[in-house]
Structure 1
């Protein structure tokens, strides 16, 4: 199976950003 590296990387960044933005408030509260 051939995967477009650019597209895969873009999707990975979007998912990672979504997870980070969702966890950021929780982590901030725990650290604070």
Structure 2
């Protein structure tokens, strides 16, 4: 799960999600 969250963050950042809060909260909401 840890690796999956890391990949999710990288994907979101690369997609233009510069908001760190969004990148961190989005995976947390999915769980």
How would you bin the TM-score normalised by the shorter chain? 0.3 to 0.5
Question: Higher relative CO (CA 8 A, sep ≥ 6), structure 1 or 2?
Answer: 2
Q: If each structure's helix is expressed as a fraction of its own residues, which one has the higher value? A: 1
Q: Which has the larger radius of gyration?
A: 1
TM-score w.r.t. length of structure 2? 0.47
